[in-house]
Amino acid sequence: MVERVPLAWLQLTHEKLRLVAAVAGIAFAVVLILMQIGFQQALANSGSLVQSALRGDIFLTSRQYEDLLSSKEFSKRRLYQALAFDEVASVWPVYTGMAQWKNPEDLLERAILVIGADPAAGVIRVPAGQDPGRLVLPDKALFDASSRTEFGPIADIVRRKGSLETEVNGRKIQVIGLYQLGTSMFGINATMLTSDLNFLRIFPHHSQDLVEIGVIRLKPSANRNKVRDALVNSLPRDVNIETQEAFAARERNYWTSHTGVGYIFSLGMFMGFVVGAVIVYQILYTDVNDHLSEYATLKAVGYEHSYLASLVLKESLLLAIFGFLPGLAIAKVLYIITARATRLPMDMTPQRMGLVLVATLVMCSLSALLAIGKLRQADPADIF
């Protein structure tokens, strides 16, 4: 067993340029797969940032709700009906809408998501030192510090001066603080948090009695799932009633399964796998073909086909490891660059690295199995 590993290594290193080409090809496939997985996960995670950030136990949305950007309204009376349950501690309406934010530097307008709620509700956590109670004052708001840069250096100005003034939907708004939420790949490039009354000032045609999201908080002793089931059985069928996990999962599922973007990323991962498999197969097939007489000689002196096949398989596994490591390093750098440029949640998790390593090993092993078929042509009778 000790003698077999060096032989596979010598086979690989005999042609240095071929080895470099194989490692580069596998590294390219690894980078492609990791980037596609990263984008797909960023797609899912960024799509549900708001849902995951809301502080509540059960959430109400319109039965016609598909995604946050096109969410429909439902009657605020459903929240008051839910408040009648003994296990419910409080209910809070949350308004959401896309408005036009004017960059105070270049004066260009861009779409921003505005979230409006009673400051006393604390529906979104704000950093220590920020007083959300000040949002009850007219035309005050908090700005998401992780918003994209084209909205202006808002975070820097607020940290330096304490506040700034701009326009949202043509109305003067004073940003008095910052909070942290994040951006998504689907039109939410910046968010702004304000009070429910300020939201209605920014959107004067929005009815106060219609809300986009209802937040329900339960008493500590309440069973969340039982209360949710009770609400489903009692409230009219014009609302969805979900736990926070289900609410966020439905948003992620919409973007990954019901839009073309999720399909494109899945196709990209598959294509990366195919590209890597083809490259490894071509390298191993050429290697076997070039050394066919040597393999025939080994068969003539008594080595079995299984031993020769194991050499090719070990070559493929060595290629997988040597190609995976530089591919992982390059992908990590690209993750950092992409996260800084787009503000998307691009995280290289151990689970993701392990998954792609296994996929790389499988990819190279399958290519080896295909190349092993060429070994059967190594007939000693043709050589001697």
> CA Rg, the chain, in Å?
29
- Tell whether the model's pLDDT for residue 102 goes beyond 80: yes
249 to 42, 44, 160, 218, 253: CA distances (angstroms): 14, 9, 38, 21, 6
- What pLDDT does residue 281 have? 83
- What pLDDT does residue 339 have? 84
Taking the alpha carbons at both ends of the chain, their separation in whole angstroms is: 28
- In terms of pLDDT, which residue wins out, 9 or 272? 272
| Cβ(47)–Cβ(251) below 8 Å | yes
**Alpha-carbon distance 248 to 16, whole Å?**
51
pLDDT in tens, 317-365: 888 899 999 999 999 999 999 888 877 778 888 999 999 999 999 988 8
Strand spans (E) along the chain? 58-62, 74-75, 88-102, 109-117, 140-144, 164-168, 171-179, 191-194, 210-211, 213-218, 239-243
- What pLDDT does residue 6 have? 64
| pLDDT band at residue 4 using 50, 70 and 90 as cut-offs | very low
pTM: 0.75
- What pLDDT does residue 2 have? 43
